Amino acid sequence: MIYSMTGYGKGTAAHNKISVEIEVRSVNSRYLDISLRLPSSLLNKEYELRELIKKSVKRGKISISIQLKRNGTEDEELTIDREKLKTYVSLLKGIKKAAKLTDKIKLDHLLQSKDIFAPIEQLYSEDEFELIKKALAAAIDELLVMKKNEGHELAADLANRIKIIEEKLDVIEKNAAVSVAEYFETLKERIKILIADLTPYNERLQAELALIADRADATEECVRLRSHLKFFLESLYNEDEPGRKLNFLCQEMNREANTISSKSVSTLITHNTVLIKEEIEKIREQIQNIE
């Protein structure tokens, strides 16, 4: 079963006076990119939280917001950084002197600088941190449910597009032999017009024309394309992380379709290869959403 890279999850947990609310968002990305918005009191736990996320999510841009509350208020108590306050006051005095101002330094002036405030470091017990991990696990579980549901829809769409390609390939294979035979006869008729008496060249000419017509035969390419389609479906339903493999198969499918098109001597075959390439491009766009 495939997973989409887009999803959302929310988890909450509470015990005694502490409550936790965690939101997880995931969007497309080539690699795993985790962005954490944490209260300063949890910065020392960032590595451990990242490792927990990596166990469940393999690919995508993950944005996580963690909100902690104690006694119903944000767990972000502030204190004054006295050294920065002194530096800021000294700077204001220097500005006054340089500009020859007589105004007094007021509280409003000091409050303009957020740097003079520093969060009070909160230490969490193991039980309290377990509460945070519980909320994170709930948020990730909800995220994975959404990713799985979207993955199911993606798989159905991709399987349908593979079926369309197979139908177009059926048409190509049914018309391939006929079109090559018709091409052979067309070449023969054109040469008859150019050369009045074919008798001296008949045997050699038949062989040369057969070689030219054979170059228009795309049987091998059709077989390889059908094999890629089969392998695509097997990977789609049986592998845990098929995204990169499916992308590679798309490239190979497109390569075979291009070769069939270049060999084609039939407008019907050319038309169907164009439709096949359109479906391959749509598949390529869709698999960018797969984890």
Give the CATH number, domain containing residue 26: 3.30.230
Average pLDDT, integer, range 216-240: 86
- Using a pLDDT cut of 70, give the percent of the chain over it: 75
Clarify whether residues 85 and 49 are in a common domain. no
Average pLDDT, integer, range 28-50: 86
CA 146 to CA 7: how far, in whole Å?
Answer: 6
Average pLDDT, integer, range 136-156: 93
Clarify whether residues 32 and 42 are in a common domain. yes
More confident residue, 28 or 117: 28
Q: How many domains does the chain have?
A: 3
Tokens 């960032």, located at residue: 46
**262-288 residue pLDDT tens:** 777 677 888 899 999 999 999 999 998
Quick one: pLDDT at residue 263?
A: 74
- For the entire predicted model, the pTM comes to 0.67
More confident residue, 152 or 207: 152
Alpha helices in 13-62 (DSSP H): 46-54
For 108, the domain range is 78-118
More confident residue, 100 or 4: 4
Quick one: pLDDT at residue 198?
A: 52
pLDDT surpasses 60 at 211:
no
Whether residue 157 contacts residue 289, with contact meaning beta carbons closer than 8 Å, is answered with no
List of residues 6+ apart from 18 with CB closer than 8 A? 68, 69, 70, 75, 128, 131
Clarify whether residues 168 and 35 are in a common domain. no
**49-64 residue pLDDT tens:** 999 999 999 889 999 9
